[in-house]
Amino acid sequence: MSCPIGVFDSGYGGLTILKDIVKEMPEYDYIYLGDNARTPYGMRSFDVVYKYTREAVLKLFDMGCRLVILACNTASAKALRTIQQVDLPRIDAQRRVLGVIRPSVEAVADFTRNGHIGVLATSGTVASESYLLEIAKIHSEKGFQVSQLACPMWVPLVENNEIDSPGAAFFVQKYIDILMQNDPKIDTIVLACTHYPLLRGVIDRFVPQGVAVIQQGEIVARSLKDYLCRHSEMERMLSRGRQVEFFTTEKGGMFDKMATLFMQADVVSRHIEI
């Protein structure tokens, strides 16, 4: 039986992570699962995000995955810890679920020169304070000053394919301006939502010169590669068929068109109930 790596997101955003993971490690099999029918997760409660994420992880386990990446900051912020600490020991202690926040936080120090960091994310990720807590923990001696801001309009713009519309430019500029007014010294902005790289062209138009923008795909891909090097027991179990399969909870929607655009490769998805 094949043992693909599962990659989960509430919708299209996780494709920005999958793309870089497949580029870094094309030899493995992958299953992408987008919960497009229930997206966005960003404004949902802890309980609901946990419930949906747990359901998706169990589905990916049923499909043969032993390793699942939550390619979603909201799910990583609100569900990962409970899944790791409560669910996995009960379900199968050999399986693993990893998130995107920790690798991103580790990478921050490579970018900032003055320690002033901006974090743009969903309302849920901001409310969880996961980035504030993780940055304070991992970089405790560096005294980083972190300003976070929720951008509630950005995910709907992506999910509705309004990336190139004047509305996208308006809302991208609006949130970047607010962030920079909150701390004009910010020299590094973390795009702490996997949907946001899909707006990268617009984002770059409004970020002041000299400010670094951190996108998570390559960082997560490198961190996963490193994880597999350190965990040969997991790496040995993964199947190596170079197959990438796509599943979405959405029915008759525009997943294939959008995913083909984002993956820059033909995507034919299948509908799935979770």
Q: Which residues bind ligand DGL (CB under 6 A)?
A: 9-11, 13, 39-42, 72-74, 122, 125, 155, 193-195
Would you call 229 a catalytic residue per the annotation?
no
Using CA atoms of 75, 201, 120, 254 in order, give the dihedral in degrees to the nearest 10. Answer: -30
Q: Which phi and psi angles does 232 have, rounded to 5°? A: -65, -25
Residue 152 CB, shortest distance to ligand DGL, in Å, is 9
What does the longest C-alpha to C-alpha distance in the chain come to?
54
Residue 241 CB, shortest distance to ligand DGL, in Å, is 27
Question: Tokens standing for 102?
Answer: 């920790």
Q: Which residue among the candidates 3, 65, 72, 151 is catalytic per the annotation?
A: 72
Would you call 151 a catalytic residue per the annotation?
no
Beta strands across the sheet bearing 269-271:
96-98, 67-70, 5-9, 30-34, 244-248, 269-271
Closer CB to ligand DGL, 39 or 248, in the complex: 39
Residue 77 CB, shortest distance to ligand DGL, in Å, is 8
The helix (run of H) or strand (run of E) holding residue 270 is: strand 269-271
Q: Which residue among the candidates 3, 65, 151, 193 is catalytic per the annotation?
A: 193
Cβ pair 51, 26 in contact under 8 A? no
Residue 225: exposed, middle, or buried by beta-carbon count in 10 A (0-12, 13-18, 19+)?
middle
Closer CB to ligand DGL, 10 or 147, in the complex: 10
Closer CB to ligand DGL, 3 or 224, in the complex: 224
The residue sitting closest to ligand DGL, measured at its beta carbon, is 42
Residue 14 CB, shortest distance to ligand DGL, in Å, is 7
Closer CB to ligand DGL, 4 or 14, in the complex: 14
Cβ pair 176, 203 in contact under 8 A? yes
Residue 212 CB, shortest distance to ligand DGL, in Å, is 19
Closer CB to ligand DGL, 3 or 192, in the complex: 192
* Residues that are catalytic: 72, 193
